[in-house]
Amino acid sequence: MSLTQQTATSLLAKLSDGSLSASELMQETLARIDAVNGAVNAIVSLREPDELMAEARDLDNGARRGPLHGLPIAVKDLVNVAGVRSTFGSPIFADNVPEKDDLIAARMRAAGAILIGKTNTPEFGLGSNTFNPVHGATRNPYDTSRSCGGSSGGAAVSLATGMTALADGSDMMGSLRNPAAWNNVYGFRPGWGRVPSEPEGDIFLHQLSTLGPMARSPEDIAILLDVISGPDPRQPHGVPVDPVAPLSAADPKGLRIGWLGDWGGAYPMEEGILELSCDVLKVLESLGCVVEPLAAPFSAEAIWQSWIDLRSWQVSTGLSGFLAEGAELKDTAIWETERGLGLSALDVHKASVIRSQWFMAAAALFDTYDALILPTAQVWPFDADIPYPTSIAGTAMETYHQWMQVVVPVSLIGLPALAVPAGFGSRGLPMGVQVFGPRGSDAKLLALGAAYHAATDWPSHRPPL
């Protein structure tokens, strides 16, 4: 097995015991990027190879810096990395080269990672299809005519193709979970507050989005989760967390799992998605879990209304200044911003009351169930040249993002969720499910995921590239 096919756990063990040098790994990484990135456009703003090789040699000749010592990582292009072009997928920041790292990049760098460049993302991370006017589109490695999902699409593709072994992402509306499913890898949305955001602007009100890790196994996810987790004294919501690595697989026997399917028919699904999702349930049952179908536990319409109001409100706070200045924004960013600006304080309050009601209803479910499962997406990877689906199975979508409604119950109330691969459909395209639990169940979800991964190892089914 080549170095670029190995897990982060394996690579880091070899880097630690000296059987692999950082410079050897960097050389293989750059060769892999050169071989496959042209077809998928996942890694952007790649640093100069000579500079990267020199940094790797410095690590080889110096003291061990931390748990990621010598591992190459490309950082999502919504994160500032010192000295690396960081565009957010927007022409506004096309020439932006930050002087300092954002918090998540600083934590990875301090742990010994070599930050080699960026992974592609939609403009300002809006939309689950990775394309932007600065770097272009990222393609699905299982079929390069198809979307890789988003907004952490570049991260997922870099993992699937072996260009990196670990990746960071972010998740507001499935931005970790959707591309993980469509690229046959794992993505973890931590419980809200476990991984702090950048300490700027308001640090109290907005609780929809979180940063998180992606990898080809839950064991690898646990390594990066530990590095980026933990409170930041400048922010109010973080709490001390126990480390989860090294991760051991759980014994799932007797765990009760609730299957929510299409939420009682509220979420239209393309043909084959529910059937493939049920294959995951069969694996869990074979491991000893008790899986039970559940009726819709809360109004999908109410959850959606709460979500689109709170999301538009949050997006508008970040983009309204650009809109007022007449800056170039894509149409969906303008729509979100104008919609958010039109909301009253009472509208936002009503949306948060619904969010509170759904949180309490979900808490009651977790009195009975250890975890709940939903599909990760409602459609298969679509034509990469269209911005978003406008209908699903004959049902028209009312917004640019309604086709991803299935991820909203988790996002709205900040629950931890592990996106796991489910296998492949009839056209050879990947799909996945999201396994989620109550606040504080991050480690338990990853341990369950490790048991599932040991039984399936879907990421070993690599793309044709």
Which tokens hold the place of 377? 């997406």
Compute the CA torsion angle 388, 391, 392, 397 (nearest 10 deg): 90
Q: Which residue, 376, 365, 377, 374, is CA-closest to 439?
A: 365
Tokens of 211: 């940063």
| Beta-ladder partners of 374 | 434
Based on its alpha-carbon atoms, the radius of gyration of the chain, rounded to whole angstroms, reads 21
Catalytic residue among 151, 170, 229, 441: 151
For 20-33, give the DSSP string.
Answer: S-HHHHHHHHHHHH
The answer to whether 456 touches 279, Cβ cutoff 8 Å, is no
Strands (E), 184-238: 186-189, 210-215
For 195, the 3-state DSSP assignment is coil
At residue 426's C-alpha, the angle toward residues 425 and 432, to 5°, is 0
253 catalytically annotated: no
- The verdict on whether 175 is a catalytic residue reads yes
| DSSP assignment of 387-444 | SS-SEETTEEPSSTTGGGGGGHHHHHTT--EEEEEEEE-TTS-EEEEEEE-STT-HHH
User: Annotated catalytic, 411?
Assistant: no
Tell me which residue of 185, 187, 166 sits closest to 177, measured CA to CA.
187
Catalytically annotated residue among 45, 86, 128, 175: 175
The active-site residue, picked from 23, 45, 76, 158, is 76
* Lookup result for tokens 């592609």: 120
- The burial of 49, by beta-carbon neighbours within 10 Å (0-12 exposed, 13-18 middle, 19 or more buried), is given as middle
Catalytic positions are 76, 151, 175
